[in-house]
Structure formats: structure tokens, C-alpha cells
Amino acid sequence: MSEGPKIPASGGSPAQAPDNAPEALGEPGYEVRAVGERRGMFGAAGTGDTSGFGGLVAPVVLPGAAQRPYGGWYDAVADGLEGLVEQVVIHRGEITFHIRRDHLLEVVRRLRDDPALRFELLSGVSGVHYPGDAGRELHAVYHLGSFTYNRRIRLEVAVADADPHVPSVMGIYPAADWHEREVWDMFGLVFDGHPALTRILMPDDWPGHPQRKDYPLGGIPVEYKGASVPPPDQRRSYS
């Protein structure tokens, strides 16, 4: 009777760092990098702040690169992606591999097919907009899981707002289909090679991409028990 794949003892829960990872030892292992400043509750510009928190000012910071050794299976995965990773970030017990877009397809194919890695599952693709991260304003984030080794990681690709193109991973992970469409719809990231990159939430003729930080607060009036609530951009401003 053949045995199944042996899971290293350091595998642990996919939501936790290995026992000897820097954060598990009480060591943050990274520095933060400021990429901007958020004002008000939502950081929206061009409309009145209707939240009442117009005086709130907070820095927008990103965790910096972690240093080797990362600990446990984190290093094993990093070894499998040697030469393809810009930086590794370990934050809140989770690991993210930052890669350039021209390496994306090679990386995801290796993560899926390499017997030592075996990330069979793409559970989602997310978009993030950091207007203050000059030359890297738009981020595509890929959430991957390994059934074989009970691990989870993230990949992150950053591109310029002026050149928002990222290769589609649908040919490797077909589940990326609707996720990439939603990121295009909400953030304007263009996934080159996607067979039908159309809006999935907003009407086809909708102007702009609503989850970008520079998208103005607005909306339509809402009727509630005979009363009319104006859209956010027409309400009383507290700023």
C-alpha cells in the first residue's frame, strides 16, 4: 500500500506562521514603509466628508521586507522561487511574496506543479489601490493554498497606474476568471490574456472603477419608509 505525501512537522495550520518564524518568536522581522496619508474616515477626495471624522489623519504604511531565515516551511517555499521574488513580507503570521509581473506566470506555474510546493488552489484575486505608492499604485494580490502540505501564501504584483497591465493566470488557475473580472471592474487592472475581461458588478457603461481611492463618493438617493436619503456627495458636509 503506497503512502500519501508526507507533510513536514513544521507545516502547521495554514493560518499560522511556522513555530520558528520571526513573528512566532516575538520578533516582527520587518520595518514599515509609508506610502501616503489618509484623511477622513474613508480617504475620499473631491466630495464633502459626511462621516463626521474629517479631522482624522493617519499614515498609510506597508510592512517592509523580512530577512532570512523566515522560519520553517516559509524558507522551503522561498527556495522553490529562488530568483523570481522581489521581496518577502511576513506580517501578522502570514507570508507574501512580491514578484514582478513578467515573472507571474512562471511563478504560479511552479507553485502549482512543483511536487515540493503543490499550491493547487487559487482561492481569490484581490485588488488594492495605493495612490501614494509612486510607480506601484495598483496591486494585484493572489491567495494560494496547498491541500498537499496544508499551507497558504500570497503573491503580490504591483504596477503603475499609467500602465495597469498584469498577465491573466486563467490558463493555470481557471478559478481566476471571475476574480480577475471583479478586480478589473473595481480597480481598473487589465489582465492581459483573459478571454472575456468585462464588468461583473457594475453596468457595462459605468464610468470609472469604484473601489479606487481617487473615485469620488457618490450614489443615488435611497427611499426608506417614505423618507428620502440623498447620495453621499449631496449630504451635509462635516469638514
User: What is the distance between the alpha carbons of residues 103 and 136, in angstroms, rounded to a whole number?
Assistant: 16
Rounded CA-CA distance 77/93 in Å is 15
**Distance (Å, whole) CA 189 – CA 125:** 11
Question: Domain residue spans in the chain?
Answer: 23-35+66-219
The full DSSP string for 103-119 is GHHHHHHHHHH-TTT--
d(CA 112, CA 107): 9
Taking the C-alpha atoms of residue 154 and residue 204, their distance in angstroms, rounded to an integer, is 30
* Residue with grid cell 457618490, as numbered in its chain: 218
**Residue 218 in contact with residue 237, Cβ under 8 Å?**
no
Distance between start and end Cα atoms, the chain: 71
CA distance 180 to 199: 10
Quickly count: other Cβ atoms within 10 Å of residue 205's Cβ. Answer: 6
Residue 202: all three cell numbers together: 457594475
Strand ranges inside the chain, DSSP E: 32-39, 57-63, 87-91, 94-98, 121-129, 138-146, 151-159, 165-167, 190-192, 222-224, 227-229
pLDDT tens, position by position, for the chain (239 residues)?
444 444 343 444 454 678 767 665 555 545 788 888 887 776 666 566 666 777 788 888 888 899 989 999 999 999 999 999 999 999 988 999 999 999 999 999 999 999 999 999 999 999 999 998 999 999 999 999 999 999 999 999 999 999 999 999 999 999 999 999 999 999 999 999 999 999 999 988 888 999 998 887 766 666 677 777 777 777 766 55
pLDDT of residue 214: 86
Cα(61)–Cα(31) distance, integer angstroms: 10
**Residue 164: how many CB atoms within 10 A of its CB?**
18
> Distance (Å, rounded) from C-alpha 94 to C-alpha 12?
12
Q: State which CATH number among 3.30.460.80, 1.20.120.530, 3.30.70.980, 3.40.50.300 fits the domain covering 23-35+66-219.
A: 3.30.460.80
Question: How far apart are alpha carbons 63 and 132 in whole angstroms?
Answer: 15
